[in-house]
Amino acid sequence: MEGVLEFAEEIFQMPVRIANPLAVQGLKDYVNDPSYATVVGLLHYGMQATSEAESVMSKRESVGDFWSKIHAWFKGEF
């Protein structure tokens, strides 16, 4: 679309560029287009957030396991 860059710069009052999706594997020929940049970015964000949440949950579970072992030891000793 002609003039979209200038229009966006005027609206946002900052520099604007048209980007292609980054770090795409597999269907790169199909999604290597600026119209897919936001979708690919959101998918990457979701994957990153999920892996971080899993990391936090595994740390919590290991702490919980530690306390349950200590509790079981105290229960067995006393």
Q: How many domains does the chain have?
A: 1
The whole-angstrom separation of Cα 41 and Cα 58 is 26
pLDDT at 8 over 80: yes
Q: What is the pTM of this model?
A: 0.48
Tokens of 13: 């009052």
What is the domain extent for residue 40? 4-77
Biggest CA-to-CA distance, the chain: 79
Per-residue pLDDT tens over the stretch 13-45: 999 988 878 777 777 777 888 888 888 888 888
